[in-house]
Amino acid sequence: MATVQGCGPLPSREDMLNALAAKEQKENLETSKNLLDCFSSKNAEGLKELLCKRTRDLADIDDQILASFDFFSGSVVSFDENKLSGPEDSSIRKGKTTRLVRSWNIYDITTDTGDIYEIYVHKYYIWLDDNSREGISQISIYSSGEKLTIGQKWLSYD
């Protein structure tokens, strides 16, 4: 640990990385809980609010959401809250984060009907050049070898 005259001790690289990982886990957990609450309650409007504007504006987004509610059976009773990390991509311009994109899986989702699911989430947290991308762009639900997708991952040059 280094110290600078007049300042307190500087955090180690390990401490900084642990703090970033904890922040990622907290943000992903919050989004995951909100998403799972929408599936449990079949809350189409709540789910749409979690989506980015580009995905909300897809011509068939309402049909995609309704299909996901048919695919996802029951209310969530548990999921693995400890494995919510995945790839992250970011850009920084002049010391400011201009883009922050994360994707992760929600594992071992069990519902009161006994069904088990896995959900993949792709979310743009920050996209300063195009805030219509901010929010969840894609959700893929997996169960018993089947997959249903809502939205899409938007290419960076779209």
Range of the domain at 114: 13-151
What pLDDT does residue 5 have? 61
Report the number of distinct structural domains present in the chain: 1
User: What pLDDT sits at residue 150?
Assistant: 98
Residue 102 lies inside a defined structural domain of this protein:
yes
User: What is the tens place of the pLDDT at every residue in 24-60?
Assistant: 778 899 999 999 999 999 999 999 999 999 999 999 9
CATH of the domain at 48: 3.10.450.50
Separation CA 55–CA 61 (nearest Å): 7
Does 8 map to a domain? Answer: no
CA 102 – CA 120 distance, rounded (Å): 11
Residue 88 in this model has a pLDDT that exceeds 90: no
* 56 within a domain of the structure (yes/no): yes
**Residue 60, domain member (yes or no):** yes
